[in-house]
Amino acid sequence: MKIYQYIKHKPFSIEYKTDYTILELASLFLKTGNVSAIIVKNREPLYIITNTDIINYFLNKDEQKTIKQIIQKYPKKIITIKENADIYDAYKQMRGASIEHLIVVDDKNRLVGEVYHQDLIMKFVEFALKDELTGLNNSRFLETIIQRYNKTDTRIGVIFIDIDNFKQFNDKFGHKIGDKVIQDVANQIKKSIRDVDFGFRYGGDEFIVMIFEQPKEIVIKIAKRIFDRITSLKDAIYNSIGVSIGVSLYPEDNKDLNEVIKLADEELYIAKNSGKGKIESVN
């Protein structure tokens, strides 16, 4: 992933010629909520002042000094990275220099953004837990959720979803369209559940949804909502998508969450074998 795809912090920049005192800059930090200010000269980064720097300046009684005086008293090497660099390179650079803020520039060395070390860490955590194609949680995170809730009293509705005749999308239109079908299904799943629930890409064209602390009738209702959203999609290339769904509940159907997932999978295949395009649930 390239830096330019990831930048989410609009940099707070100050022209070098606008010579604030540190006290005035601290006031701006408080008003704007910024944690850093990039000093620029003709749009090129010259210096960076972070909230930690501000604290140190106050401790050293430098609050009345101007930015120009601070730059002279505390010179520092400005560290930048090109906007088309990889975020892994950004992380290595930040780790190697022991910095929390990295300035992003274009090919002409003009300021375009800023990335924070903590944000990169969270992004890597997201990479580890999210399916890259769909943005849903991945099977690794599913295992974590199973371990967390198995043998507890938490009520969980499991909805197992499989795209009907998925192979035909790849065979007829190619893998890019096949990927689009998977993404479109994932997007409808996201739209159909609450923030407290979980959607997973289980593998290939299979998905699992976990609905927390809801009775069976609500879980079935959500399964139907997902089914209706997916099957009502219309696309100029692939036309429409069919899905089959299996539903089970923990701990009502089994006191082992792994077994409840298997039960939902079994119900899914009952739906598949009885004509597809159906929702089946454990009685």
Chain centroid, CA 182 distance in Å: 17
The two structure tokens encoding residue 223: 């399964």
Phi, psi angle pair for 109, to nearest 5°: 65, 25
| Annotated catalytic residue within 205, 228, 253, 256 | 205
Residue 205 annotated to the active site = yes
DSSP character string of 91-147: HHHHHHHT-SEEEEE-TT--EEEEEEHHHHHHHHHHHHHB-TTT-SB-HHHHHHHHH
Q: Angle at the Cα of 82 (from 79 to 84), degrees rounded to 5? A: 150
Q: Rounded distance, CA 238 to CA 221, Å? A: 27
Nearest to 205 by CA among 262, 265, 161: 161
Are 158 and 248 within 8 A, CB to CB?
A: yes
Q: Rounded distance, CA 41 to CA 112, Å? A: 14
Q: Rounded distance, CA 134 to CA 123, Å? A: 15
The two structure tokens encoding residue 271: 């739906």
DSSP character string of 201-213: EEETTEEEEEEES
Which residues are known catalytic residues? 205
